[in-house]
C-alpha cells in the first residue's frame, strides 16, 4: 500500500524517513511513504490520481494545499472544519476523508513535555497563520485563555472570529502589549527564526522573556532557535517543534493503518534526530 505527502515543495520533507521507519518497525514491508511535489496547477490531476489508485491508504497534505484540497474530499472532520485546514486524508470505501492531526499532535507533545493547559492557563500565541489556527483550536479544547500576537492585527482578528471564540481570545499587534507576569505558555507559530533566517525572532530582544512561562516553538529547523535561546537565557522551560512533527505524523499513521500512534512515535522520532 502507498501513502505520501502532497505539497510544494516537499523534496526536503522529513515525513518519508519518519513514516518508512515506522513501517519497517512494524514489519509492514509492502507499505511505503512517498513525496509528491505538487505545484498548484497539478493539484486536480494529483487528487484524481489518488482517488483512482486502488493501493492508496491516504496521504498527508502540507503547504500550500491544506485548504485547497477540501473541494476534492467526500467528507471533512469537525476538527479540520473548525481549523479550516486538512493535513491528513484517509481513503475509506473508495472516498477521501479529510482530517487535521496538527492540533492533536501538538497537544500530545506538549503534554509529553510536562505541560497541560487548562482554564487557569494564559497562553500567548505568536502568529496568526495556518499553524496558529491549529494551536488556537487545541487551546480552546483545554479552555485556556488566549492572546494572539500578530503584526497584521486584522489577520489575528479574523482568526479569532472565524474559529468562533472571540470571547476567549484577545488580539494584540506587538509583544510589548502583553501582561508578562500572567503568562503560563508561549507558543511560537510564526516562521521567524526558521532556517535559513536563523537570526530572526518574534520576541523583541529588549523585552525580557517571562521566566515562569513554558515556550513551545513550532519551528524545528534549526532545533534550537534564537527564540528558544532567549527563553533559555531567562530560565524558562523550552520545547522545540520536532515532537509536534512526530506526533501529528504518528496520529495520521494510526488513521491509515489502525496501529496506535504510541506504538510508532518513538521509532519515528529516532529516525529524524
Ligand atoms: N512543528 C511542526 O510540526 C510544525 C507544523 C506546522 C508549522 N510549523 C512551523 O510553524 C511556522 C509557521 O507556519 P505557518 O504554516 O503557520 O506559516 P504561515 O501561515 O505562513 O504564517 C506565518 C506567521 O508568521 C508571522 N511572521 C512571519 N515572519 C515574522 C516575523 N519576522 N516577525 C513576526 N511574525 C512573523 C506572520 O505574520 P503576518 O501575518 O503579520 O505576516 C504569520 O502570522 C513555520 O516555521 C513552520 O515550519 C511547524
pLDDT in tens, 7-66: 999 999 999 999 999 999 999 999 999 999 999 999 999 999 999 999 999 999 999 999
164 touches 196 (CB < 8 A): no
Give the Cα separation of 247 and 141 in Å (integer): 18
Give the pLDDT confidence score for residue 250 in this predicted structure.
Answer: 98
CATH class of domain segment(s) 2-100+243-272: alpha beta
Q: pTM for the complete prediction?
A: 0.96
Domain with CATH 3.40.50.720 in the chain: 104-240
Domain with CATH 3.40.50.10860 in the chain: 2-100+243-272
| Architecture of the domain delimited by 104-240 | 3-Layer(aba) Sandwich (3.40)
- Residue minimizing CA distance to atom 18 of ligand 1: 129
Q: Which residues contact 180 (CB under 8 A, 6 or more apart)?
A: 207, 208, 210
Mean pLDDT across the stretch 142-171? 95
* Sheet architecture: strand order including 56-61: 32-37, 2-7, 56-61, 88-92, 95-99, 75-76
Residue 66 bears catalytic tag: yes
Distance 45 CA to ligand 1 centre (A): 29
Mean pLDDT across the stretch 256-263? 98
Give the pLDDT confidence score for residue 210 in this predicted structure.
Answer: 98
Distance 202 CA to ligand 1 centre (A): 10
Would you place residue 165 in the very low, low, confident or very high pLDDT band (cuts 50, 70, 90)?
confident
Distance 133 CA to ligand 1 centre (A): 11
Which atom of ligand 1 is nearest to 197's Cα? 31
Mean pLDDT across the stretch 201-230? 98
Amino acid at each position: 500500500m502507498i501513502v505520501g505527502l502532497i505539497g510544494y515543495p516537499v523534496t526536503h520533507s522529513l515525513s518519508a524517513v519518519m513514516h518508512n521507519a515506522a513501517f519497517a518497525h512494524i514489519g509492514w514491508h509492502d507499505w511505503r511513504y512517498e513525496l509528491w511535489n505538487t505545484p498548484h496547477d497539478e493539484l486536480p490531476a494529483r487528487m484524481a490520481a489518488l482517488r483512482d489508485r486502488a493501493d492508496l491508504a491516504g496521504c498527508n497534505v502540507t503547504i500550500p494545499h491544506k485548504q485547497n484540497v477540501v473541494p476534492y474530499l467526500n467528507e471533512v472532520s469537525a476538527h479540520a472544519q473548525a481549523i479550516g485546514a486538512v493535513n491528513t486524508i484517509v481513503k475509506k470505501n473508495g472516498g477521501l476523508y479529510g482530517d487535521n492531526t496538527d492540533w492533536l499532535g501538538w497537544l500530545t507533545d506538549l503534554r509529553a513535555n510536562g505541560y497541560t493547559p487548562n482554564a487557569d492557563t494564559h497562553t500567548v500565541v505568536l502568529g496568526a497563520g495556518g499553524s496558529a489556527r491549529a494551536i488556537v483550536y487545541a487551546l480552546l479544547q483545554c479552555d485556556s485563555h488566549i492572546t494572539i500576537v500578530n503584526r497584521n492585527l486584522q489577520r489575528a482578528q479574523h482568526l479569532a472570529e472565524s474559529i468562533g471564540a472571540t470571547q476567549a481570545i484577545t488580539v494584540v499587534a506587538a509583544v510589548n502589549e502583553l501582561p508578562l507576569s500572567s503568562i503560563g505558555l508561549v507558543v511560537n507559530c510564526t516562521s521567524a527564526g526558521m532556517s535559513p533566517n536563523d537570526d530572526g525572532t518574534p520576541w523583541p530582544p529588549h523585552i525580557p522573556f517571562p521566566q515562569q512561562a513554558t515556550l513551545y516553538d513550532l519551528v524545528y529547523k534549526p532545533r534550537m532557535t534564537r527564540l528558544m535561546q532567549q527563553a533559555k537565557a531567562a530560565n524558562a522551560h523550552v520545547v522545540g517543534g520536532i515532537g509536534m512533527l512526530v506526533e501529528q505524523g504518528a496520529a495520521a499513521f494510526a488513521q491509515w493503518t489502525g496501529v496506535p500512534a504510541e506504538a510508532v512515535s518513538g521509532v519515528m522520532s529516532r529516525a529524524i534526530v
